Structure 1
């Protein structure tokens, strides 16, 4: 086994990584890839369900039961599952506001990981410490003290993102939920120390790299590593006959969130189904998308918004018979929505990457996306890139697909997972960036 002062052992093997992860971001993609390459020293995470108990946990708490992955051996994981549950109860009892709760949880996790760095054997075997942003400051201090290299996984475009979003959402500020606030100053102060401590910063898109550089981060520290997705077998697309003009067909009923029945037109196979999946928030461009819906009123297009609501939805959107809100969905329901839709729309104003693009492509959906996220769409080949995020641009792209079914079918045929976003590609990227770490 190599020592912490040597990045390659006598056999020429690459460095062993210790991964720190609060939450299950990307379903543990980076530690999974490292484990497959036999380069994972260990994973420190807040919650992990051992293999032997996972089936029972899934029966009464499906999301908690998913906090594991068979690609990582339980022996390579140390978790604070009980401690995390206790902390969550404490935060609720204290009635902390959202940002105080986030900061308290981040601080708790960092303090716990520092203790593990001092006591866990797997941590002693590692030469590289990887942590996602906003939970890296304290463990990076300790890792540096122990002679380890530090790699920061930047999950978003950093402090300038809020400036970009504010400029683009000024017209829709009245739809923001009451109490929504920007991160406090100490959040960014801690992040700047993380950046200073990091030997290398992984970003998921050129958009993130650009905003970080504008915030003062040296480009010499930044490496672009796109997100990865397990596409599996591409779902077969239903063949639809989309008319150039027309309206929704006969009435049907649906239940509202209050349980009451509501009369609305039934959207059948003749209507193009447009899916938005993710947080329904202004940063994702839903203000502009709502206005585009109004511009497309009466067209044979149905809109499905799937995800937690983070805005006050205007009454004229809620009452629109072409629009449906599903609320939060689990992975199984999300897969069903991808399969039953024709187009995926992502008019985001800023995203570190937006993994939903890859999920949509894995199900054969063409993607209409902005350029303010990971570059997944090949314009005119497997989707459309919005030149600007405006109601008019979104409406025009959707109107074009509804009126040109041959174009829609061609984009669907070309929409598939690109090998560049596979787990194998992620593994190759991680191997290559090690050469940029200081020896």
Structure 2
């Protein structure tokens, strides 16, 4: 039986929980929030906060085995809705602080589990596994490590190079500012793991050779959504609509896409950029004035937006496997992406899309 820990319970975690539940091996799920989507309090909440909390609701079968540590995460989310950002990594209500608190609580729980109890494995994720894995090692539990993005040594090298290529985009990179302590935690997490789960070949190949030699490392690719195309949104213009979806960062190659649009310089192409702003919108407009910005939205609305576009582009520098490219393909639109987006084992080059090298606005154009 497995104890699974994750601070937010994103869609990939939900799929894992569902698989474990159907297999009858899920014992406990530890997270920060488990929201009741039918609670009357939803009506009194700001719309943005309500939408965030709705994504933290879980099926009843999962909810019955869920343990929560909500206070710090609730403050973090509320602060975000009113524009108050916590200091990167060291802030009391940063995502790193949330991760560390949950990790400590799970470690405490593992230390209290009696020998021969139902739980025999801990499944945890990067940045939130160190204390849990230490307790699991001491208690004789199997330690399963989910690495959702390329290992930090490769990621950091690539992103530091991006900071040199585009110094003004460095604030959007995030990981370039990680402390030595945080990087040490990542190293120790991998060292303590028995099994490493990667979403793509790119992530697997980013692991240190000694980890691959000493541990079981495998690829567990994401599934694709079942999209109903019968009521697909129609195109709103005669121009070629190009979609980028994801956080507006150079980690996802947005500066290269902007450079490609400047090279093309055609009124026949309409760039739609959807995702979370990491700088003010005016900052992005200073770098490319002519694009349509779409804010984040519920998943169903994302799919409808995709269906109104002609091509999806994701020239990522560092990813795990960007599910958004599979969602675009499920919507029937071709994808242009990099190997580093986890695309080389998804796209049939020249048939279902095109693989392009990283850092190549010319190839995108």
Q: Distance in 1 between matches of 2:109 and 2:72?
A: 14
CA shift for structure 1 position 164: 1.6
| 2:203 is the counterpart of 1:225 | no
> 1:291 and 1:232 mapped to 2: Cα distance?
32
The answer to whether the aligner puts 1:163 opposite 2:153 as a matched pair is: no
TM-score between the two structures when normalised by the length of structure 2:
0.85
1:279/1:309 contact within 8 Å kept: yes
CA-CA distance at 1:34 after TM superposition: 0.7
- Answering whether residue 352 of structure 2 is matched by residue 382 of structure 1, we say yes
Shift of 1:372: 0.9
Structure 1 CA distance for aligned equivalents of residues 362 and 355 of structure 2: 14
Q: Which has the higher contact order (CA 8 A, sep 6+)?
A: 1
Separation in 1 of the partners of 2:71 and 2:172?
33
Any conservation in 2 of the 1:354–1:373 contact (CA below 8 Å)? yes
What secondary structure, in the 3-state scheme, does the structure 1 residue paired with 2:207 have?
A: helix
Deviation at 1:130, TM superposition (A): 0.3
Q: Is the 8 A contact 1:234 1:363 kept in 2?
A: yes
Q: Secondary structure at the match of 1:351?
A: coil
Aligned to 1:150: 143
Aligned in 2, Cα 1:344/1:220: closer, same or farther, shift over 3 Å?
farther
| Alpha-carbon spacing, 1:198–1:144, altered in 2? closer, same or farther (3 Å) | same
1:313 alignment counterpart? 284
Report what 1:30 is aligned to.
16
1:204 and 2:219 matched: no
Distance 1:70 1:110, change over 3 A: same
Distance 1:316 1:232, change over 3 A: closer
3-state SS, counterpart of residue 111 of structure 1: helix
Is contact 1:207-1:352 (8 Å) kept?
yes
Name the residue aligned to 1:97: 87
Which of residues 163, 173, 187 is equivalent to 2:167? 173
* 2:271 corresponds to: 303
The aligned residue for residue 17 of structure 1 is 2
The range that moved more, 126-135 or 44-53, is 44-53
CA displacement 1:23-48 (0-9 Å, x = unmatched): 12225211111111212112111111
Cα gap change, 1:99 to 1:68, in 2 (>3 Å): same
Indicate whether 1:277 and 2:245 are aligned: yes
Equivalents in 2 of 1:335, 1:59: separation in Å? 28
After superposition, the C-alpha distances for 1:59-117 in whole angstroms (9 at most, x for unaligned) are: 8412202212327432121122345325767999x975112123322221111222333
8 Å CA contact 1:58, 1:66 repeated in 2: no
Structure 1 Cα separation of the partners of residues 309 and 166 of structure 2: 27
2:339 corresponds to which of 364, 371, 385: 371
Match of 1:76 in 2: 65
TM, length-normalised to structure 1: 0.71
Q: Deviations over 1:365-402 (max 9, x none)?
A: 2111111122311112211111454111001xxxxxxx
SS in structure 2 of the partner of residue 42 of structure 1? strand
Show the 5 A alignment for 1:390-405: 390-395=360-365
Change (3 A) 1:17 1:235: farther
Pair 1:138 & 2:131 matched? yes
1:286 maps to 2:254: yes
CA distance, structure 2, for counterparts of residue 336 and residue 33 of structure 1: 27
Unaligned 5+ segments in structure 1 are 1-15, 241-267, 396-439
Q: Secondary structure at the residue paired with 2:208?
A: helix
State how far apart, in whole Å, the 2-side matches of 1:50 and 1:340 are.
33
CA contact (8 A) 1:286 1:347 kept: yes
Is 2:124–2:146's contact at 8 Å kept on the other side of the alignment? yes
Runs of 4+ in 1 over 6 A off after TM superposition: 87-92
1:391-430 CA-partner distances (Å, limit 9, x unpaired): 11001xxxxxxxxxxxxxxxxxxxxxxxxxxxxxxxxxxx
Q: CA RMSD in A?
A: 3.0
Q: Tell me which residue corresponds to 1:108.
A: 101
* Residue 27 (structure 2) pairs with residue 57 (structure 1): no
- Structure 2: how far apart are the matches of 1:90 and 1:304? 28
